[in-house]
């Protein structure tokens, strides 16, 4: 059986923490689809197309990764792709409550999709897309937190 997992998220933008999770996930699954959520509740800095393009460039050297976007229920999207699992990253206890709630809700509405939680390297546990945007907006150095393509796009965004 070809085991497919979906790694859903906002990825506004992708960080080295997300990449760490992707690299772990491809060791467990045959294909990992990084799926950008078209989340109407969040107002993103980058468009869906920009976020997808940045991810594509960042995962170029990692095999068995695909990039896509979706605007349906995550469990419906998993079924559509034939995925058996969805990947989520856990950084700290603070992530736990929300992720626990989501995993149980998703299990209720999409029974045959398992939520799989992976932990990044310690040095990425304090990283978040929103923190990166804040630092970049104030002109701080983010080169050790994000891939070069993201660093350049952020520079471009905030120099306007």
**Binding residues among 99-128 for ligand ADP as defined by CB under 6 A:** 120, 124, 127-128
89 near ligand ADP, judged by CB under 6 A: yes
Active-site residue (options: 18, 51, 133, 153): 18
Output the CA–CA distances (angstroms, integers) from residue 83 to 7, 39, 40, in the order listed: 10, 20, 24
9 near ligand ADP, judged by CB under 6 A: yes
Is 2 annotated as catalytic?
Answer: no
**Window of 10-18, 64-72, 76-84, 104-112 that interacts with ligand ADP by CB under 6 A:** 10-18
**What DSSP element (H or E) covers 108?**
helix 93-109
Is 42 annotated as catalytic?
Answer: yes
Active-site residue (options: 42, 60, 121, 123): 42
Active-site residue (options: 51, 58, 88, 91): 91
Q: Which two tokens stand for residue 57?
A: 């460039």
Q: Which two tokens stand for residue 114?
A: 């398992």
CA–CA dist 30, 25 (Å, integer): 9
CA–CA dist 11, 2 (Å, integer): 26
Output the CA–CA distances (angstroms, integers) from residue 141 to 34, 121, 137, 138, 160, in the order listed: 26, 20, 10, 9, 18
Q: Count residues contacting ligand ADP (CB under 6 A)?
A: 16
17 near ligand ADP, judged by CB under 6 A: yes
The minimum distance between CB 126 and ligand ADP, in angstroms, equals 7
The minimum distance between CB 128 and ligand ADP, in angstroms, equals 5
Active site residues: 18, 42, 91, 129
């Amino acid at each position: 059986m070809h085991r497919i997992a979906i790694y859903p998220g906002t990825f506004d933008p992708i960080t080295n923490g997300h990449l760490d999770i992707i690299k772990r996930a491809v060791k467990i699954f045959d294909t990992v689809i990084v799926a950008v959520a078209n989340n109407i509740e969040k107002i993103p800095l980058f468009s869906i197309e920009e976020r997808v393009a940045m991810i594509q460039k960042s995962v170029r050297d990692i095999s068995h990764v695909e990039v896509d976007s979706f605007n349906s229920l995550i469990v419906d999207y998993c079924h559509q792709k034939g995925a058996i699992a969805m990947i989520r990253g856990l950084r700290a206890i603070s992530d736990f409550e929300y992720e626990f709630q989501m995993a149980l809700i998703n299990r209720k509405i999409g029974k045959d999709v398992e939520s799989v939680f992976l932990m990044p390297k310690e040095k990425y546990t304090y990283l978040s897309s929103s923190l990166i945007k804040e630092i970049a907006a104030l002109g701080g150095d983010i080169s050790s937190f994000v891939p070069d393509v993201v660093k350049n796009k952020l520079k471009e965004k905030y120099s306007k």
